[in-house]
Amino acid sequence: MGPFKSGFISILGRPNVGKSTLFNRLIGDKVAIVAEKPQTTRNRILGIKSMSGGQLIFLDTPGIHSGRSELNQRMVRTAIASGRDADVLLFLIEANSPLVEKDQSMIESFRGSKGIRFLVINKMDLVRRERLLPIMDRYQKYYPFKEIIPVSALTGEGIDILLEEIVKVLPESPPYYPEDMVTDQTERFWVSEVIREKVIHHCYQEIPYSTAVTIEAFKENPEKKLVLIKATIHVERDSQKKILIGKGGEKIKKIGEAARKEVEAFLGTKVYLELWVSVEKNWTQNSQVLDQLGYPLTFTHLS
C-alpha cells in the first residue's frame, strides 16, 4: 500500500445539480439535507470519509447562482471561499440538462484556486450513455479537467471510481480528523437543518426561500432516554406564519412529526420537539439578522 493521503475536496455547481446528494453518497451518511428545490444548502457543510489509504474531507456548498438578496450573495461567497483552499474541486453538472455557458462562468469564478479540477457528470440514470460524449467534448474545450467522471448520486453508479480517482491526486498527509468522525457540524445544527428540510418539503410553493431555523434549547435527559428540543422557525411575513401553522395547526404538526422521526432515528432516543414560528420582517435582506442566524459573510474552511 502507498503512503497515506488526505485533503479537502469541494463540491461545486449550480443549484439543484445534486451536490448534497453526491456529498451524502460519498460519505455514506445523511449529513446534508436534500430537496428537489434549488438553494436548499446555505452553509458550507463538511463531511469526512476515512478509508484505509486516506482521508477525504468533502465540502458541500450552496449552489452558485445570481440571486440578489444579501442571503443569496452570502451563500455564493461561502461556496467560492470553500473552493479557494481545496485540494480538489469537483465541478458537478447534470447529464440531463448541461448549461454550458452558465457553468463556464462558474468555473471561471474559481480561477484563483490551486486545486485539481474534475468534471463530474451527475444524474446518469436519466440519460443514455450516448449523450455523454458530446457533453464531455464541449466542457473539455474550455477547461482541461484532470478527470471527467460520470456518476449517479442517486443510484451510486460511478461513485467508487470517483473516490479512487480523488485519492490518486490527493497530497501525502496524515489524517486531519479522527477516523470515526463524520462531520464537524454539531447535533444542534443538524437538527435545525432537518427541520428546515421538512419546512421546504411541506410549504415550498408558499414560502420559497425565506425560512431559517434556530435551536433555542437542546436538553438531554439520559435517565428517561429523552431529548427535549425547542426550535424557532423564522419567516419574513405574517402571511407566511399563517401558512406554516396551517388550519388548526395542522401543517406545523406535520412538519414537527416528520422532523422528530428523523431526529429520533439519528439520535437513537425519544425526542420531544417543540416548534415556534417567529416573524422577522425581511430577514434575508438584513445584515444584523443574517449575522445572528449564523450565515457568514465569508468563510474559509481551514481557519
Ligand X SMILES: Nc1nc2c(ncn2[C@@H]2O[C@H](COP(=O)(O)OP(=O)(O)O)[C@@H](O)[C@H]2O)c(=O)[nH]1
Return residues touching ligand X (CB under 6 A): 13, 15-21, 34-36, 40-41, 63, 122-123, 125-126, 152-154
If contact means CB under 5 to 8 A according to the sort of partner, which of Mg ion, ligand X, none does residue 123 touch? Answer: ligand X
- Which is nearer to ligand X, 20 or 284 (by Cβ)? 20
48, with CB counted inside 10 A (0-12, 13-18, 19+), is: buried
Residue 37 is classified by DSSP as S
Closer to ligand X at the Cβ: 153 or 255? 153
126 binds, among ligand X, Mg ion, none (CB under 5 to 8 A by kind): ligand X
Q: CB of residue 174 vs Mg ion: minimum separation in angstroms?
A: 30
Residue showing the smallest CB distance to ligand X in the complex: 18
Choice between 158 and 296, CB closer to ligand X: 158
Cβ nearer to ligand X, comparing 10 with 21: 21
Amino acid in position 269: T
Residues constituting the chain: 303
Distance of CA 223 to CAs 54, 270, 291, Å? 39, 12, 37
Shortest distance, position 300 Cβ to Mg ion, whole Å: 20
CA distance 85 to 115: 7
For binding to Mg ion (CB under 5 A), which residues are involved?
19-20, 40-41
| β-strand pairing of 45-50 with 54-60 | antiparallel
Q: What is the phi-psi region of residue 158: left when phi exceeds 0, alpha when psi lies from -120 to 50, beta otherwise?
A: left
- Least distance to ligand X, CB of residue 120, Å: 10
C-alpha cell at 278: 417567529
User: What does 17 bind: ligand X, Mg ion, none (CB cut-off 5 to 8 Å by kind)?
Assistant: ligand X
Dihedral pair phi/psi, residue 59, rounded to 5°: -115, 115
Smallest distance from ligand X to CB 129, Å: 14
Which is nearer to Mg ion, 42 or 234 (by Cβ)? Answer: 42
